[in-house]
Chain A
Amino acid sequence: MKPIFEYTKGMTDMPTHYCPGCTHGIAHRLIMEVLDEMGALGKTIGVAPIGCSVMAHQYMNVDMCEAAHGRAPAVASGIRRVHPDKIVFTYQGDGDLASIGTGEIVHAAVRGEKFTTFFINNGIYGMTGGQMAPTTLIGQKSTTSQDGRSKELNGMPIKMSEMLASIDGAVYVERVALDSPAHIRQAKKAIRKAFEIQKKGLGFTLIEFLSTCPTNWGMTPVKALDWVRNNVMPYYPIGVIKEPKEAEEA
Chain B
Amino acid sequence: MRSFKLVFRADRCKGCELCRNACPKGVIGMAPQVNAKGYHPACAVNQEACIGCQSCALMCPDGVITIYQLEEGDQ
Q: Which residues of A contact B4 (CB under 8 A)?
A: 4
Confirm or deny: A35 has a beta carbon within 8 angstroms of a beta carbon on chain B.
no
Confirm or deny: B18 has a beta carbon within 8 angstroms of a beta carbon on chain A.
yes
In residues 1-29 of chain B, which contact A (Cβ within 8 Å)? 4-5, 12, 14-18, 21-22
Confirm or deny: A29 has a beta carbon within 8 angstroms of a beta carbon on chain B.
yes
Is A7's CB under 8 angstroms from B66's CB?
A: yes
Is A2's CB under 8 angstroms from B69's CB?
A: yes
Confirm or deny: A154 has a beta carbon within 8 angstroms of a beta carbon on chain B.
no
Q: Which residue of A has the minimal Cβ distance to B57?
A: A5
Q: Which of B5, B52, B54 contacts A181 (CB 8 A)?
A: B54
Contact residues of A: prevailing secondary structure: mixed
A59 shortest CB reach to chain B, Å: 10
Task: For the complex, count residues of A whose C-beta is within 8 A of B.
Answer: 29
Q: Which residues of B contact A214 (CB under 8 A)?
A: 16
Confirm or deny: A78 has a beta carbon within 8 angstroms of a beta carbon on chain B.
no
Chain-B contact segment, one of A18-26, A125-133, A160-168? A18-26
Q: Which residue of B has the minimal Cβ distance to A7?
A: B63
In residues 214-231 of chain A, which contact B (Cβ within 8 Å)? 214, 220-222, 225
Distance between Cα atoms of A23 and B69 in the complex (Å): 27
Is B63's CB under 8 angstroms from A4's CB?
A: no
B54 shortest CB reach to chain A, Å: 5
Q: Which residue of B has the minimal Cβ distance to A221?
A: B16
Q: Mark A1-16, 1 if CB is under 8 A from B, else 0.
A: 1111111000100011
